[in-house]
Chains A and B, each alone.
Chain A
Amino acid sequence: MSYACGGHDHSLSRRQMLGLLAGATGGLLAPNVARALQSKQRQVLMIWLDGGMSQLESWDPKPGTDHGGPFRAIPTSIPGVHVSELLPHSAKRMHKLAVVRSMQTKDNSHSIGVGRMHRGDPVNRGVDYPYLGSALAKLMDKGESGLPPYVWIKPGSSGFVANHAGFLGGRYGALALGDGRPPTHLQQGVETELEQARQELRRAADARFKAGRGEADVDAWEGCYDSALKLMKRKELFDEGAVSRQDRERYGNHPLGRHLLQARRLLEAGVLYTQVTSYHWDTHADNFAMHQELMPQIDKPFAALIDDLDTRGMLDNVVVILMSEFGRTPKINQRWGRDHWPEAWSMALAGAGIKKGVVVGKTSPDGAFVDESPFDVGHLFHTVFRAVGINPDTTTYKHNGQALAIARDDMGPMQEVLA
């Protein structure tokens, strides 16, 4: 039902890892990578603008063309590079980002596109691939925080979302924080003397049982209580009262701003992978008014986040991804909207392992197609794995005795964005 606790499971996966390394199909992690990870824990923040942000109103403006729309392009902190005037704050941080303008993906429906993008568009091997967060929860060292490795901040309800984990099994699913709130049983928990007293009794009972039998099982079950208690002790991570007024103003008092601020705090606390999802980017009608309304909600907090990660030295450890399942049609429809467009769209990366201040790929003058360096989501997965220190060419999942590639084996990383 939820993510793996410590103890038993962890040691098991370690053992499996060693077993795999000895095998012919390649290990889960090369040993030097594992060592490198231990020395510096890498983390990931995925910002997902569900529905599809328009590349023309963000990273790849085409002012003055037939499809360019009403907004101007403005200069950025990289000389000669322009973005839409709807990104004034991000424009000033452009020298810290890597923007890819040549995403070229396949599906133009949300239902297929979203899952396909989150799972890295695996070749059909008869199994459901994990979302990136579950994949990294499986493949990476979870660090010392004891916090859940995959936390998903989203509008709506809280809970444990098992199906993100695909064939890895529900334990690698996401802890979902609906509007930043923890699941109900966590909310109800109170760190009191009573709690300590009954936990002490429980631990004493477990210690006696462990001496008699079931050593691994005791460790596994104990690990779950430890994780639960650790998270209960960190309830300030879910308490918006704990953030400063300045921060709230810098990030904005709307869901996306609040959620990005919470994501920063979760990353600071040591969560391995945090995803922030914002809905309502599907602008089939009134694309321009909608983007005028929506873009500030990502621009300002995204810039604040990049600044905060940078001043805290965290941009060296954290990979930041800002993307949607696709972009929007250059052609403006009769309702002043833009429809789904997987053929040519943009996304941004920043942080650990990522080059600073580069713009990769080029679209045609009308923005309709990719002219240079087309990339699919398979390339993106390779890139993110590399950025966190995993080599997708030598790392495989093992499922039912079958070695499965962690990223499309007919693709490689976007070398141009890797530092």
Chain B
Amino acid sequence: MIALALALLCSLQETSSDADFLRRLTLDLAGTIPTSDKARAFLADPDPAKREKLVDRLLASPDYARRMEQAITVMFLERRNGGKIPDAQWSDYLKKAFTANEPWDKIVRSMIATDGRAEETRPAMKLLADGAGGDPNRMTNDVARLFLGRNLLCAQCHDHPSVKDYKQAEYMGLYAYLSQSKLQDDPKTKKAVLTETAATAKVEFASVFSPGKKHQTGPLLRGGEEIEIPAFEKGKEYEQPPAKGSPGIPKFRPRELLAAALVRHPQFARNSVNRFWFIFMGRGIIHPLDLDHKANPPSDPALLDSLTAGFVESGFDVRALVRRIVTGPQYSRGGKASPIKPLSAEQMAWSTMTATGNLERILRGPIPEGSKFTTKDYLSGKSQTPPSSLPDILKLFVAIFGNAEGEPEVGFQPSMTHALFLMNDRLVLGWLKPAEGNLVDRLSKVSAAAVADELYLGVLTRMPDAAERKEVASYLERNGKKLEAALGELAWALIASTEFRMNH
């Protein structure tokens, strides 16, 4: 509230309109645009504290957990999927964590530490097992990028050529924590587990530029202390020795140590804050998100420090951090200073269903067990039947609007595929045909004078201006003989517009 007051006071920057703020916040916290009813009610509400109340309401809604789960999944898994943990298990796990507002350090700790044996934390294994495929080098890269904000890829083979403080020794110290890990099938449970073998020696490495000069390191996080690898008598390295093809459990388990040390590392809180900031602002205070180093300083160091200190002090309270970001002055900027970012594949799906007034019907619909829909068949034209259940619809939108596997979704990366989909896809065009209670149905039943308002509120979450009203009226007049089709075309044009495609 203080932040908001400040924002209004020092309004050097234009502040967003109520309508802009409502759309932005609902997309960010609920993962969809609001319905026209919600928009109408919010715009008409005279309460001066309505923005804060909206923040509270959305943070308390179940949609918040779903939206956070989607944002973090896209950021961490980057559409990679090894298939060891089913998507639904992972998203349920994360949704529960966000609903309970579990501390962020605890959530991340389980992602690193779990070996997948305990049912309760097994889904958290997905990041390392499916995202990084259980490969020690890929895991090292992911941990460095996603949790320390340091892309050490180049440092795998030599000190980074242009980033002075990304050293091969840092990479190898982190790698030493993960080098014992591997994905193995447990023949008893027939499930993959991310086990560790017994460590016996330090990791040896040399730069490709001076292959003769060997170095050694044990597990070591930058700035911390190297962990000594304990020496066990032969045969006593295991708490539970491997037997009959079943992987064992060694006494020395560096991944658990990494998980504990990682979340205490100052870089962890700083990187986490920067990544949450990015989710809401479309750009990190440090950008690119994984290039935190001296020559690439934060755009606002004091702000980053203050947010980071607050996050640590709160005990890694994600909801409190999110509240602080979305009630801050930067978030409510308007006009050309608005934070702007593209809708994710998930937000496009939910928002298109909301805008066309089909979401409720789809949510009510059954989720068939073992659906036969595959994006491959549908997109190759082998199957002509569009998806009907929510999970299948999401799959299709992700196939179209999601980036390729392993490509971070940062910034607006539109493609002709997206445009062709919106122009020609049966599912999308079907949503624009009148059906009980959907947008085109509603529009066909209101007076000609009210069409533009309902259309703009429903699709763009704002009232039309005079020129837009005129455009709608004249289009309908010219196409009076095919009213419903014309209404669908008007709605299509707004859904296909940049204003809809972006969160601004």
Query: Interface residues, chain A, CB within 8 Å of chain B?
Result: 1-5, 8-9, 125-127, 148, 157-160, 162-163, 165, 169-171, 173, 178, 181, 183-189, 194-195, 197-199, 201-202, 204-206, 208-210, 212-214, 217-218, 220-225, 227-228, 231, 400-403
Contacts and interface: CB of A to CB of B under 8 A. Distances in A.
A364 B160 CA distance: 45
B501 A221 contact: yes
Interface centre among A185, A198, A213, A223 (most CB of B within 10 A): A185
Contact of A127 (B153, B376, B467, B471): B153
B497 to A, nearest CB: 4
Contacts of B489: 194, 197-198, 201
A221 B379 contact: no
A205 B499 contact: yes
A2 B403 CA distance: 9
B162 A401 contact: yes
A403 B405 CA distance: 23
A3 B340 contact: no
Contacts of B400: 1
Cβ-closest 6 pairs across A and B: A201-B493, A170-B404, A162-B404, A185-B420, A205-B497, A157-B380
B417 A1 contact: yes
B235 interface: no
Interface in B457-480: 467-468, 471, 475
Contacts of A163: 404-405
Nearest to A227: B416
B134 to A, nearest CB: 18
A177 B487 CA distance: 35
A2 to B, nearest CB: 4
Chain B CB within 10 A, most for which of A173, A178, A194? A194
B415 interface: yes
B291 interface: yes
A170 B406 CA distance: 10
A209 B499 contact: yes
A346 to B, nearest CB: 34
B157 A3 contact: no
Given A198-B496, A221-B501, A224-B419, 16 more contacts: A1-B404, A178-B380, A186-B420, A186-B424, A198-B489, A201-B489, A201-B493, A208-B467, A208-B499, A209-B498, A213-B335, A217-B412, A217-B498, A221-B414, A224-B418, A403-B161
Given A213-B504, A214-B340, A214-B498, A204 B471 contact: yes
13 contacts: A1-B401, A1-B418, A3-B415, A9-B413, A162-B407, A163-B404, A189-B424, A202-B494, A204-B471, A206-B497, A214-B504, A231-B416, A402-B160
A205 B494 contact: yes
A158 B380 contact: yes
A2 B416 contact: yes
A217 B416 contact: no
B107 interface: no
B493 A202 contact: yes
A159 B379 contact: yes
B424 A188 contact: yes
A276 to B, nearest CB: 19
Residue of B163, B342, B415 contacting most chain A CB atoms (<10 Å): B415
B374 to A, nearest CB: 12
B160 A185 contact: no
Contacts of B157: 125-126
A237 to B, nearest CB: 15
B403 A170 contact: yes
A217 B502 contact: yes
A401 B160 contact: yes
Interface residues of B, number: 60
B419 A228 contact: yes
Nearest to B293: A401
A94 to B, nearest CB: 40
Contacts of A184: 378-381
Contacts of A220: 412, 414
A213 B338 contact: yes
B369 to A, nearest CB: 27
Interface in B257-316: 291
A204 B404 CA distance: 31
B492 interface: yes
Contacts of B467: 208
Nearest to B489: A198
A221 B343 CA distance: 13
Contacts of A187: 381
A24 B476 CA distance: 60
A198 B492 contact: yes
A225 B419 contact: yes
B415 A400 contact: no
B110 to A, nearest CB: 29
Contacts of B499: 205-206, 208-209, 214
B403 A1 contact: yes
Contacts of B407: 162, 169-170
Contacts of B468: 208
A101 B445 CA distance: 75
B498 A221 contact: yes
Contacts of A231: 416
Contacts of A403: 161
Interface in B208-260: none
B413 A171 contact: yes
Interface string B113-127: 000000000000000
B283 to A, nearest CB: 13
Nearest to A157: B380
B81 to A, nearest CB: 14
A143 to B, nearest CB: 16
A278 B123 CA distance: 43
A186 B151 CA distance: 38
Interface string B360-381: 0000000000000000101111
B406 to A, nearest CB: 9
A4 B415 contact: yes
Contacts of A160: 415, 417
A159 B380 contact: yes
A205 B421 CA distance: 19
Residue of B156, B378, B414, B499 with most partner-chain A CB within 10 A: B414
A115 B170 CA distance: 32
Contacts of B77: none
Contact of A5 (B416, B471, B493, B504): B416
A213 B161 contact: no
Nearest to B497: A205
